[in-house]
Every structure is written in structure tokens, then in C-alpha cells.
Structure 1
């Protein structure tokens, strides 16, 4: 059996509440910025009318609402989302020095990670009593509520056509772990030799559907999100999108790509969660710890070789505590730096894992870890070495771990390293 191909990240593009490109995001983290936050509804009356006890804050969705559908198209939300995804795919490809022709001949595949195209619930309210044939024929608003406008298959078909793919994109849905699950599939395809190039793309908007869902689980913060904080108030949702290009290392070297980060180890697991009747925000720390250990074993890496861990860190006390227990279980007496930027970026749900991978890749290449900023007190009883509210920290090694947790019980751990050769 042939040795698996080494998989490297060659291109990155990110949109976030801190800016319209990746460098703006990194600069914002360097100077300790918080993405702008505002109430979702104009007033409390509307929030109570839809069943929420308060008007939830969210990181203002400054980029995706302004996204322009591809030329000649303006038929529904799928086209607007396509108009958002294609520019960041192009940006990631440009950073990797790749063009569409490389995808056509490079056995390329795109992996789309997210929660699907969600309807704006308020758009349906005004049409509840207007459903006869005359309304359907004459009212454009009703026509755009049709399921076909919310089908991700249309986005996949357009991406396959526009990027000359020989195989259709793969859509992955696993709640907050979606983008890491997609990344796992993409790197597995390259490591096995089934693909030469893989693009993982993800997005997250803030919709009323998300707010109602998390509000029903009592998981929304009234003021601010504070991962690993002593209060554990809840989450503040944020919008985001990211694209990452993966290749086998030999392809990257042939193009003289020097700034490479290797996906050295990966592991995924399933525990509890909604799918098995468990409490959605109380993951089993033993499963998280075992997933991390398997990823390290796959990477042939000892815990003490890791400089930094980026946990899921969603700001919910039970989930954060489980991650803290898992980190302490794996690293024991070998302290490891822990950072989480969700208090600054908002909780981007499906896109959060890939955005963290991008931030972690930049940190490894720069050889330093940017501190995360807090608006409250960190929970000192968790026993973690948080790198918060401090100058950048020089990394002792070129290896890091990213952890992801999905509400349905999925767990992922990814080991990243700067290649030694």
C-alpha cells in the first residue's frame, strides 16, 4: 500500500465581521478589535412578537447582504449566496497561484459546508392567507418562497459549471462542525490520491431561523458572547465565509509555493447530541479527548509538541467546560496555550471551524499567536492557559490543534504543522 499523500493548505480567503478580506481580519485581531454588534430587530416589540424574550445582538452582516448575484441572475437567495461564494473561491485560488484551467485538469473537487440556504421566516408570514392560484401567478414574493430557491443543489451545479469540474461538489451538513467535516473529507480525498486539488468553501448568515432555534434552546446572549467566561451567558451570532484550497505537497512544491501549512492529522467522532437524545450543548469530554488523541496519533505527534489549541469555545458553559476537561485530559501537566476569537468575531456556526483553521494557519506561518480579547472575566477554575488580552506570543513549535463540536454530537480534531522540509 502506498504512503498517503501529504496534504497542504495553499490558498485562504475569509470574510468576517472584522473585514472583507483575510488580512483585514488578521489586522483587526492584532489591534484587538471587536466586530460591530447591533440588535437584530428594530425594537423589542418585534422580538417578543416572534417569540424571543429579548432583542438578540448579532455581529452585523456587512458583506453577504451586499453580495451581488452572478451577472444576469437575480432569482432568489441561492443566486445571492453564489455571488458571495465565487469571489472568495477566486481569491483563495489566486493566493494558491491556481486558475480554473488547473481545476479542470487537476482532478479537483469542491466541498460546500454549511446549514443550507435558510428561508427568511418573516418573508412567509405575509403570505399565509394568500395561497390561491391567482396569488401564485401574480405575486412574485410568493413565487420566491418556493423550495427550489432554497436548494443548495443549484449552487453546486453552478459551481461545477463555472469552475469546469469533472465531478460535482459535495455538500456537508453537520451543524457547527460542518466546515471541519468538509475539510476532513477534502484532505482524505487528496491523501488517498483520489483528488489533486480540493476547495472547501463555507458561509454563515444570521437569520431569524438561527435566532429562533438557539433562542428555543436558551443559548443566546443578551449582551456579549464570552467563550470560557465565568458567566457563560450564551452566544452572539455572526456572519462569515471562508474558502481554503488544499493540494498534495508535491503539487505545491512544483509551483514553488513556500508558505505552506500541512494538515498533519485528523480525526472525527460522534457523541450524544440531538441525534441520539443527548443534551445538545453538553458534549462528552471523554469523546472530545479521545478524538484529539486520535488526531495526534494520526499525526505521529506528542501532546507536548503542540504550541496552541483553538477549541470550539462557543461561550456556553457546559460545552466550554467539556472542552476544558478534554484539553486537560490530553495535555495533563504539559501546559498548552488556548485561544478563542468568537468574542470578537461572533459565533459563525457552520463557518467557524474553517475561519479558525485560516487564523491558525496564519499564526503558524508567522510563528506567533495573537491574543484574543475579552469583555469579562475568564473562568480560572477551568485550568487552561488562555492567551488573552496580551501581546502576541512566540510559538515554541510549529504545530497546533483545532477542535470542532457540532450540536448534533459531531466532534473533530485537526493537527496543523509547518512542514519541516
Structure 2
């Protein structure tokens, strides 16, 4: 029998606040964290809005051994901060986690701010001006390494980069380690800090981001709405602590949710566009359900779906097709929302953050809305919980992540077993 895996801690850094409690309060209030960006030169940018994090500063890391703010890119700072919150909730020690604790984190563009800043130094001031900390700051494993240093996790420490699916793959990697008997505990999820002039310009020139709402930022992220025209980029981290059932019970920990299933697939269709048939996206969803020993039509009425729901014209349509393929006639019984309507798109951190949303929905019996839903789109005709939260005691929560490169990840969470 496969080892059961439970979530015991949650940590979040977002444009809606730097704690899970604050994030959840804001989500249920239907508040958007999207605004005019405050920390960039916007004078020549086509897009001037995003989900910016406030309230993290160097003093937040003063009590941690080994790590310091000046040796961390913004993405690593977010990860260390959120991991601390998750560990505190779990009841695990904040130091000396030891050899049976892993750290696996996802990010799509880790270290982008450092890359931009040091490239500017090189071009404007010459090679001697480049910081000797450049590589440790921008290397893809920097966030995971700093989390392991901060909290003394000596098991496998890895970085995963699969665009918007990164933190979903990171979580699955940890599950597999646990089922192979390698570790008992893992700090996992993702982090991202790509709100830079380089990041914004690149996505804007791809025509992937919305351009219509610079003057109305809170209305900009509008998944499933007929007037959507692109995603809104955000920064932050979503970190969870997961444990084997045996370890959790032996130490007397409290489970928040169980990870009951997962599925992965790749479109092999196009580097950045999803396959409109949703063949592989639906396969990852179906695998998540069936790996839990369940059948889609039997659980549809008891399932909340936190959709990838980016607000791009093609993604939301394809995701709807995929859900219909999996759940068939019962797809109309699903309750679906996109928290990206309020948080924006955190790229590699999205699956980690949205796993937290799924777990809070299971815990509280309240489902967050999809805000900015004003004009129905016949291609996106599932119940998207428009504009207002909904009380619903669901048993399962499905978290979809569909990334550039055609990477599809689906995680299925369940309420923890009372036994």
C-alpha cells in the first residue's frame, strides 16, 4: 500500500498579504491585489500593472542562521519567509530539520531581477562592476538552497523549472521521494519574482499579458470572462509542508489535507500555446482522479476546482474543454474558480499558492470567487463561482496548472481522514 501524504503547514507571500490568514481573508472578500507597480520605471512600458509584494525587508531574516537578505534574490527571500510560516503552522522545528527533510521548490524565472541588474552593470560600468554574488543569487536552485540553509533541511534539495507548472512538479517530486522511503518531511511549492522591466517587456511583446486595463488594474485579471485578453503577472511564494502519515502521527501533528492523487502530462504540441483539443491536459486531470482510486463523474458534485484560469483567451477555453472531457455530463456539477482573478499569475509559484487555496477551501467550506466576471463566454460555460464566495462543503479540491512548454500538472487534495 502506498504511503499516504498529508499537508501540515502553509505559507504565503502575495500581493494580497504575506500570511495565509491575510491572503484568505482578502480572497473571500473578492479583493484584487493588482495595482500600478510602485518599484519600477514605468515610463516606457506597455504594461504598468501587476501583483507586487510589499512588507518583506532585510530585518525579516535577522534571526535566521547562515542566510541573509543581501545574499538572496527577491524570489529566494519570498521562499524563505513563506517556508517559515509553513513550518510554524506545522509544529516542526524551525532549525535542524535534519537528513529526512527535503526541500524542492519550483520557479519559472528564478533570479530575473539579479540577471537584469548585473547585466546592466556589465554593459554600463564594465566587468569589474559585476557582483561576486551574482551566481549564488540567480542560480535556479538558490531559493531551495536558502530554505535548506535557513531551516537545516539536509535531505534532497532541488529546483524545478517547468514554467507555470513548476511548483506542481515540485510537490509531486516530494511525494515520490516519500513513497520511495527517502524522506519523511518536505518543504515544497514555489516562488517567483519576475516583475522586472525585462520580464514585463518579454511577456508584453509576446502578447500574453493584458494591455487594456492599465488605468483599471483591479479589473485586469478576468478569467473566463468574454472580455479577457491576457494574464496579469504577479510575484510571491506559495509553500507547503508535507509529511508521511507515519511521521505526522508519530509526532502528533495535525493534518490540514491529504494529497490523494496527482497527474502529469505534456502536450508536445507548441512551445507556448496549449493544444485546443486538451488531450494531454485532460489526461493529467484524469490521472489525478484515478490515481486516488476515484472516478470523475462520481466526485464532480463534491469537488472544487482551482483552475489554472489565467485570463488568456486560449487557456481558459482549453481548460474548460479539458474539464468537460474528464467529467463528461457531470462537469456542470463542478464548482470552479480562478484565484488568479485576485492574485494575478505568479508563474512558477502559481501551483504552490493555489494548492494553499484548495486546502483552505476544504478546511473552511467556503470557495473563493472568480472576480471580474461580467460577460459570459459560451466557450467557458462551467460554474465559475462568479464574483462572490460560496459556502460549499466539498470533499475534494483539484488544482490545475498548465505551463509554457506544454507542461500539465494536476493535484487532487482531500479533506484529512478523521481516523
Q: Classify the TM-score, shorter chain.
A: 0.7 to 0.9
Which of these residues, 40, 47, 56, is aligned with residue 48 of structure 2? 56
Contact 1:225 1:346 in 2 (8 A): yes
| Distance 1:36-1:259 versus aligned 2 partners, 3 A rule | same
| Distance 1:82-1:294 versus aligned 2 partners, 3 A rule | closer
- Residues paired across the two proteins, number: 400
Which of these residues, 306, 323, 335, is aligned with residue 327 of structure 1? 323
Question: What are the within-5 Å matches in structure 2 for residues 22-421 of structure 1?
Answer: 22-39=20-37, 45-47=43-45, 54-64=46-56, 66-68=57-59, 70-71=61-62, 78=72, 81-100=75-94, 103-104=97-98, 107-114=100-107, 115-118=109-112, 119=114, 121=116, 124-125=119-120, 127-131=122-126, 136=128, 139=129, 142-143=130-131, 146-205=134-193, 206-222=195-211, 223=213, 224-272=220-268, 277-282=270-275, 284-303=277-296, 304-306=298-300, 307-334=303-330, 335-374=333-372, 376-395=374-393, 397-420=394-417, 421=419
Structure 1 residue 376, shift from structure 2 partner: 3.7
Contact 2:105 2:143 in 1 (8 A): no
* Greater Cα shift, 156-165 or 323-332: 156-165
1:352-395 CA deviation, whole Å, 9 max, x = no partner?
Answer: 11111101101111223232322542424422111112342313
Secondary structure in 1 matching 2:243: strand
Structure 1 residue 41, shift from structure 2 partner: 8.0
Structure 1 residue 145, shift from structure 2 partner: 8.1
Note the residue ranges of structure 2 that are not aligned, 5 or more in a row.
Answer: 214-219
Q: What is the CA–CA distance in structure 2 between the aligned matches of 1:43 and 1:167, rounded to whole Å? A: 41
Note the residue ranges of structure 1 that are not aligned, 5 or more in a row.
Answer: 48-53
Structure 1 residue 31, shift from structure 2 partner: 1.5
Contact 1:70 1:79 in 2 (8 A): no
Secondary structure in 2 matching 1:416: strand
| Distance 1:128-1:87 versus aligned 2 partners, 3 A rule | closer
Contact 2:13 2:78 in 1 (8 A): no
Secondary structure in 2 matching 1:265: strand
Q: What is the CA–CA distance in structure 1 between the aligned matches of 2:253 and 2:336, rounded to whole Å? A: 29
Q: What is the CA–CA distance in structure 2 between the aligned matches of 1:267 and 1:231, rounded to whole Å? A: 31
| Distance 1:24-1:38 versus aligned 2 partners, 3 A rule | same
* Greater Cα shift, 408-417 or 154-163: 154-163
In the superposition, the TM-score normalised over structure 2's length comes to 0.87
> What residue number does 1:9 align with?
7
* Greater Cα shift, 14-23 or 304-313: 304-313
Structure 1 residue 208, shift from structure 2 partner: 2.2
| Distance 1:41-1:194 versus aligned 2 partners, 3 A rule | closer
